[in-house]
Amino acid sequence: MLVIERILRDRQSIWQQIVDERELGKLTTHMLASSAIALALYGAVLGAFHSVLMAMTSAVKLPLLFLVTLAICLPTLYLFNLVFGARLSVRQALAMVMVAITVTAMLAVAFAPISLFFLITAPDYAFFKLLNVAILTLSALVGLRFLTGGMQVLNEHGLLSPAAPAAVPATVPAAIPAAPAVVAPAEAAPVEAVPVTPISAVPAAVPAAVNGGMTSTVVAPLPTLPPPPAHVPGYGWDPGARGIYAGPRPQRPPVREGQRPASMTLLYIWILLFGFVGTQLAWTLRPFFGSPGQEFALFRSIEGNFYAEIIRTIADLF
């Protein structure tokens, strides 16, 4: 039961433990046990409005409500993250959701004395039902706030974003020999200052008189070639290979500052889905309070829906 104190006082250590996947089985077991006990206590208060037997059944059905809802919705959360490239494991996703359920359960049991007070002093069925629905709604909102905060921490550690592609080094194939370098004379002027002479204008040979009128051929120097292109950022130019192009390097698309990843957006959609599934399952598992005008029953017939019943109860209250 002391795990809730650690969550509330030192939540950063909880998030870091989930990020590191360190003893997640033990942490999840502690949260599961504490939330089940807390929800059972609160469920007993709900069912006490009708009878002792209803209190016992509500103590079993309320923890079952949260755990079955988790079992239905957890695969969707995990697959949402996989589709958008998140690296969140099943154990990490389960631990994150169990943090939210544990906070919800502990806040609900903290409100149990208030609920019990109104049960004793103002035993009105419509008011008691709306009061406890409001308590559970408020507790669930706080628990889900912990879930979104934990997901933001995981996002800061890069677990909700795809892994960056590894840079491909620019290499020169071994089968292609490097071109020989042409060394310009030491006294040559800079490239910018040397005019480029067309090769067709350079005489191929210059006759000269050598050995009493005998001619020989003196080869004119080749024109100075420009140096290889400089390194271009993002491309595989290798100066040692004299300009051989090795192809563009894969670059990770830039992420704007403050941009929300798609997995965080889908988290809010999943929260709405979790709420709809939970309320419909609660309507299926009813009664939790037990109407004073009806006999004890483990389950009621499935008719209507949760939201229509809330509206009708508000109308009966006023």
Highest-scoring range by mean pLDDT, 18-22, 36-40, 123-127, 221-225: 36-40
Q: Give the pLDDT score at 160.
A: 64
Say whether 15 sits in a helix, a strand or coil: helix
Q: Confidence class of residue 138 from pLDDT cuts 50, 70 and 90?
A: very high
Q: Give the pLDDT score at 209.
A: 47
Q: Write out pLDDT tens, residues 82-110.
A: 877 777 888 988 999 999 999 999 999 99
Q: Write out pLDDT tens, residues 24-55.
A: 999 999 999 999 999 999 999 999 998 899 99
Q: Write out pLDDT tens, residues 236-248.
A: 444 444 444 444 4
Q: Write out pLDDT tens, residues 256-309.
A: 444 555 667 778 888 999 999 999 999 898 888 888 878 888 888 877 788 888
Given a contact cutoff of 8 angstroms between Cβ atoms, the answer to whether 270 and 244 are in contact is no
User: Domain locations in the chain?
Assistant: 3-162+262-312
Q: Residue 103 corresponds to which tokens in the numbers above?
A: 């906070």
Q: Confidence class of residue 70 from pLDDT cuts 50, 70 and 90?
A: very high
Output the average pLDDT for the chain.
76
* DSSP code per residue over 141-205: HHHHHHHHHHHHHHHHTTTTSPPPPPPPP----TTSPPPPP-PPPTTPPPGGGSPPPPGGGS-S-
Identity (one letter) of the amino acid at 56?
M
Instruction: Tell me the pTM.
Output: 0.67
Residue indicated by tokens 């120097």: 221
Q: Is the pLDDT of residue 249 over 60?
A: no
Q: Give the pLDDT score at 308.
A: 84
For residue 33, which of 107, 89, 92, 106 has the smallest C-alpha distance?
106
